[in-house]
Amino acid sequence: MGDRTLLGIVGSVSADSRTRTAVELALDAAADRHGVETDVLHLAEYDLDTADGRGIDGYAGDTVEALDLIVEADAYVVGTPVYRGSYSGALKNLLDMVPRGQWQGDVAPFENAAVGLVATGATDHHFLAVDQVLRPAFAFFGAHAVGGATYATDADFDEGEIADDAVRERLATLGAATAELAAAVDESAALGSLGPAV
């Protein structure tokens, strides 16, 4: 990926976020192993508008800053806490503002982009949320989701840090895999032109 940017999107509105800790571990591994530049969009730090059907040019303030980070990035590690078996409402609101190159704006930042997926939850009960709701959301945009996601529970953390070595290694591998998938998409005419199914 070289000088490309891997953006971590943290769908948590908590300043002290376990999801952010997990996403940053993946980003750090991608930077260490592949020399990519990384940045973080943590929704707790942004006062976003509520999605209401406006085009991308209809927003101002923090919302513009957040959308610009997404548009300017080349690949993504997206993390969310799981609530009621799904990704956070804050992340849903953000995704509802991201255009697909159609009426909401002439850009489609997730189209043919590599996306690594991370979720955190209190227990193991909601680990399928990644594959049942988060992965389909990015398929809608025509993104290439890394095959294996990472799910971490409260038991995997100790004093805000990830204490489970297997989870740490999986997150590091996810970050590296996202960078590698992004490079593969860049080098492939077919992978770089699939886009959304509809």
In CATH, what number does 5-188 get?
Answer: 3.40.50.360
- Report, in angstroms and rounded to the nearest whole number, the Rg of the chain calculated over CA atoms: 16
* Span 24-39, pLDDT tens digits: 999 999 999 999 999 9
pTM, 2 dp? 0.96
The structural domains of the chain, with segments of one domain joined by +, span 5-188
Query: Which DSSP helix (H) or strand (E) runs through 90?
Result: helix 89-95
CA angle 25/28/34 to nearest 5° reads: 135
Torsion of CA 125, 25, 65, 86, to 10 degrees: -10
Cα 186 from Cα 197, distance rounded (Å): 19
* Span 44-86, pLDDT tens digits: 999 999 999 999 999 999 999 999 999 999 999 999 999 988 9
* Span 140-152, pLDDT tens digits: 999 999 998 999 9
